Chain A
Amino acid sequence: MITQPDQAALLLDMRDIQKRFAGIPALAGASLQVLPGEVHALIGQNGGGKSTLIKVLTGYHRRDGGQVLFEQRPFEVGSPHEAQVSGISTIYQEINLVPLRSVTENICLGREKRRRGLLDWSAMHAEAERLLSRFSIRIDVRRPLGDFNTATQQMVAIARAIGFSARLVIMDEPTSSLDEREVSVLFSVVRQLKAEGVSVLFVSHKLDELYEVCDRVTIMRDGHTVRSAAMSDIGKLELVAAMLGRDVAVVDGHATAFGARDRSRIGDVLFTAQGLSAGQSVRNVTFDVRRGEIASFAGLLGAGRTETARLVFGADRLKAGEMTMERASYHPERAADAIAAGMGFCTEDRKAEGIVPEMTVAENITLALLPKISRNGILNEDRQREIVARFIRDLGIKCSGPNQKVRELSGGNQQKVLLARWLAMNPKLLILDEPTRGIDVGAKGEIQRLILKLADDGLGVLMISSEIEEVMEGADRIFVLREGVSVAELEGQAANVEDVLAAMAHGGSPVEAAA
């Protein structure tokens, strides 16, 4: 499926790139071809390998195999700085500039102009102004960068990148922190670069943007390139299907352990959310979960699924919208409020927000339970032992014992420990964000069966998964989120993959999209 443009005309040619971390392949046969003066989109799900590919290109990671040609010459750099000097500049999501220093200093950092050994400030200020005027930005370059808003800072980052006479500019989700007006300014910059013969590699999850500004696209999945095409030759639906690894035409098999459900067990409404919003990432999300139901969020990366879950759990503050839990108004200020209301939350980032690595299996399981297994602040060791033993047995947590450090367990068993932490609380609603990510196949099936059993026992489950199979086969109802808005509600299992993918891609039903 990979179209091969004329090789002699290529600006960048990466072929069969291999990269392994601790023996696990992150890139396995990835390729990327960029033409001079084109805007090239690079897309893929989390873990698809696009950021690893970029880091290999810019010398941040050393590749294990494959070939990189830049302007027809082998390209070997040991650091992002070397790459920059050689003509490849990267603008990261986070602004990697120094906010306390002046705009000029930021732009000229690392390539100061000198006169007789001293810094030539007037020449540098002039160059900074000349560069910024290219982006229609007129600001006092002598002021500290931190005085300006994020968008301006981002523009300064871009100016700095171009100041190095770059022939390829990599933009990693450049629009994530910009509002609409700033995005349109950025796009005019991108077009200007293109007009001057500079290529842009554009990483973004916002499909509309890609169609607006990009010429061609490379799609990555599971560490390799699955498709490369002109934007005009590929529809949104095809794009999403390629990213998720679904052939649009193929009807579901049974890729997961969820199996069929007895829908009659689903009870009355447990939780509702109406018009939730909080800044850019969550703009208008409405959904509800019933007792004994597995409701699921589907959506691309950046659709606002995790952000919505965090709002529900009180981990982030809501700007607008209403929620009810068991028909009572619900306004969580912090996670403790959500827990008191009967919720549990297994986060997507197990290491950073889930486990306490230095603590034991037992201590991790009882972390949220502490107030319930103590009297006057003193822990009841017997109750702790008893509860921990029960969950280790019931969930089949493989460990040397309750006193083993949790960091020594495999990913799947760590996930079970986190599930046990919440199940021990006897929750009414359990939010599971990517419950099977980074887990081996066996443990994955076990966790899926467990989720099903919990729902059968009357627990309301809100499941977020980037694996479309998990959503299609596990969920009773699917809420599709797109750029922070809930755009569709579909009956799970009965739903057609095509409908779900179409809602993710276009924000409506396939009928509307075709029109």
Chain B
Amino acid sequence: MSDLATPSPANDAGARGFNLFGFLARYGTVIALMLLIAFNLGYTRNFATLQTLNVNLTQVCTIVIVAVGMTLVIATGGIDLSVGSLMAISGALAPMIFMGKIFPVGNTYLAVVVAMVVSIFVAGLLGLFNGWLVSRFRIQPIVATLVLFIAGRGIAQVMTNGNLQTFRVPQFQWIGLARPLGIPAQVIIMAVLVAAAAWALHRTVFGRSILAVGGNEKASELAGIAVARIKLAVYAISGLCAGLAGLVVIAINSSSDANLVGLGMELDAIAAVAVGGTLLSGGKATIIGTLLGALTIQLVRYTLLANGVPDAAALVVKAAIIAFAVWLQQQHRV
């Protein structure tokens, strides 16, 4: 009956020729980004400099790194609120290891490698825990990841007794401060991550399975896709990305404050994904879109700040952009 009652609506949309909403939903982010750049070239002083580019890129890096994992989670129809807290945990754990608070450090290089691997791995394990809650117990993702959103930051604070950890360890801080060929190291990491994820999403069985699970979970299950394993994997990847972003943040700051690392990151990442054109209900995702979305939000904030608008007001504009992007998506889907 339902088959009869709903003929495919998109056929007539195609017949009508140009579809404004469809066009905007597809290219809106690129257009917005280009308009912003054009505006700044005209009105903002010292915009077309390497300095400005680097400032904006370094600021947007951690958001993009987290948002890549978030995109995969959202593509399965889920969401991950715990990323900010996982950043705090990895950001708290790494200095404890390379500063010798857990076990004595012999070789600094070795300690740094162990610190990075272990902290990212721990964040990945916690992500796996999120995935376990979601796939094994069928807890709604927003609730399941709320557990670590709340508990995660608490764990980080307990680990450090709430103290600020400061350090000066160049062997570690290269991921936030080094500039091979003049490009900040974290920008290179971000670029590699974006490229790898974009490729994987469309060229691998794993990527295709992610989109299938988000697009129709029951059909995917019946087609033999291991739905539970896919969900475990995306949450674990989201955790790994958050762990990595946590390290970048503390490397830039030369310090780690469990109260502040990754604070509000979940919302920034979700905003980048939404503005980038990924369906929040799952099944359709674009990593490049997420990158452009993050850049757009960043550039709006920069533009307003550079032109004397206070940060508080910039937040309102940011909210308006996100609301507009989501509204646009809905228009396109109807």
Q: Which residues of A contact B (CB under 8 A)?
A: 21-22, 24, 26, 46-47, 52, 313, 315, 334-336, 339-340, 345, 347, 350-359, 363, 367-368, 370-371, 374, 377-379, 381, 405, 407-411, 421, 437-439
Contact = CB atoms under 8 A, between A and B. Distances in A.
Given A335-B221, A353-B218, A359-B283, A370 B209 contact: yes
B225 interface: yes
Interface of B is mostly: helix
Contacts of A437: 3
B211 A359 contact: yes
B4 A21 contact: yes
27 contacts: A22-B6, A24-B4, A24-B5, A26-B1, A315-B221, A334-B221, A335-B221, A339-B223, A339-B224, A347-B222, A352-B219, A353-B218, A359-B215, A359-B283, A367-B212, A367-B225, A370-B208, A374-B204, A378-B204, A378-B205, A379-B204, A379-B208, A381-B203, A408-B10, A410-B8, A421-B223, A439-B3
B216 A411 contact: no
A22 B7 contact: yes
Interface in B206-262: 206, 208-209, 211-212, 215-216, 218-226
B8 A377 contact: no
B123 interface: no
A129 B156 CA distance: 54
Nearest to A400: B14
A374 B220 CA distance: 17
A340 B14 CA distance: 39
Contacts of A335: 221-224
B302 to A, nearest CB: 34
Nearest to B333: A358
Contact of B3 (A345, A350, A368, A377): A350
B11 A408 contact: yes
Nearest to A335: B222
Given A46-B1, A377-B206, A378-B203, A405 B220 contact: no
A354 B6 contact: no
Contacts of A367: 208, 212, 219-220, 223, 225
Interface string B319-333: 000000000000000
A347 B205 CA distance: 23
Interface residues of B, number: 33
Nearest to A411: B3
Contacts of A371: 205
A417 B221 CA distance: 17
A335 B222 CA distance: 5
Nearest to A21: B5
B279 A377 contact: no
Of the candidates B205, B223, B284, the one having the most CB atoms from chain A within 10 angstroms of its own CB is: B223
A407 B8 contact: yes
B211 to A, nearest CB: 7
Contacts of A351: 2-3
Nearest to B203: A379
B205 A374 contact: yes
Contacts of B203: 378-379, 381
Interface in B259-299: 279, 283-284
Of the candidates B2, B5, B211, B222, the one having the most CB atoms from chain A within 10 angstroms of its own CB is: B222
Contact of B283 (A26, A356, A410): A356
A335 B215 CA distance: 18
A353 B216 CA distance: 7
